[in-house]
A and B are shown apart, each in its own frame.
Chain A
């Protein structure tokens, strides 16, 4: 520790830097103190319904943690979304209806499954065109070489 203090006295900029890093690295205040929603971590009793719920949860994006599905996230909000999915499945709603309910509220963002739509079709079509173009060039070259 004293070695650090000596170092800081010799190189004041270092002390400032360490202080800045410490300020940034200060722990964020705690999140909420409430327990998770009842069905955030509890599976449905009926394994068939739980399998449906699990499959659906893997296609819904966590709103807080953008590169995870709600099935993979421990964010409180993802738990609340899993609760919605499980209780709605248990109440007899179809996975498609629940997915539509989420999409109605959050748009394409909440979908964690690639879907063909009026805005996403180029993503699927352009690679096909490029491969076809490459095949064409290759064929002409091979023909010329032969």
Chain B
């Protein structure tokens, strides 16, 4: 009889554990971001034509010229890209070299976007069919990659760059140039 009781209590404990697990997991913030699995790997080879007249296009070779860079994946039709524009300007003012890839964008829209929100980029490539974006493991706009001087991806920031992300990216950039 006592064994039977213990067995019942064990069942209750198991059920409580299962529901506790549910309660805990349901209260975890949902991570909707799909992280790139390319961190630590070299940028895949690519060559994108320019999209605006006053900046050259972007090729993978430009990302292995010895100087670490921030690679920003953006689009004029992307609202968070407007939100992060002031912080891209701050990063540029802090000495970061920014290059951009415009995703599925018309040249006139990109030009207008840069005229309205600033152009912190030294180069901008035109990716009409998200081909380079897919090869980077990027799943949306905006995203920002830290690429070291050898062209190896060192860090990925997903979503718009908030004020608090600026020092983090500058730190990652320093780490990328340190080694």
Q: Which residues of A contact B (CB under 8 A)?
A: 29-34, 37-38, 63-64, 66, 76-77, 80-81, 83-84, 103-107, 109-110
The complex places the Cα of A85 from the Cα of B169 at a distance, in Å, of: 34
The 8 closest A-B pairs by CB, nearest first: A105-B137, A32-B104, A80-B130, A37-B129, A63-B139, A107-B37, A34-B104, A32-B77
Across the interface, which residues of A come within 8 angstroms of B105, CB to CB?
A: 32, 34
The complex places the Cα of A105 from the Cα of B139 at a distance, in Å, of: 10
CB atoms of A109 and B79 under 8 A apart: no
The chain B residue sitting closest to A104, CB to CB, is B37
The chain B residue sitting closest to A108, CB to CB, is B37
The chain A residue sitting closest to B130, CB to CB, is A80
The complex places the Cα of A33 from the Cα of B34 at a distance, in Å, of: 24
* Known contacts A29-B79, A64-B139, A84-B134; is-contact A34 B37 (Cβ 8 Å): no
Contacts beyond the supplied A33-B77, A81-B134, A107-B35: 18 A-B pairs with Cβ under 8 Å? A32-B104, A33-B106, A34-B105, A34-B106, A37-B130, A63-B34, A77-B139, A80-B104, A80-B129, A81-B130, A83-B129, A105-B37, A105-B134, A106-B36, A106-B137, A106-B139, A109-B34, A110-B34
What are 15 A-B pairs at a CB distance below 8 A?
Answer: A38-B129, A63-B140, A76-B104, A77-B140, A80-B129, A80-B133, A80-B134, A81-B130, A83-B129, A84-B134, A105-B38, A106-B137, A106-B139, A107-B35, A110-B34
A106 interface neighbour in B37, B104, B128, B131, Cβ under 8 Å: B37
The complex places the Cα of A52 from the Cα of B4 at a distance, in Å, of: 57
Chain B nearest Cβ from A22, distance in angstroms:
19
User: Using an 8 Å CB-CB cutoff, how does the interface string of B21-53 with A read, 1 for contact, 0 for none?
Assistant: 000000000001011111000000000000000
**B111 interface residue, CB < 8 Å from A?**
no
**B135 interface residue, CB < 8 Å from A?**
yes
Give the residue among B34, B37, B129, B140 with the most A Cβ atoms within 10 A: B129
The complex places the Cα of A76 from the Cα of B127 at a distance, in Å, of: 13
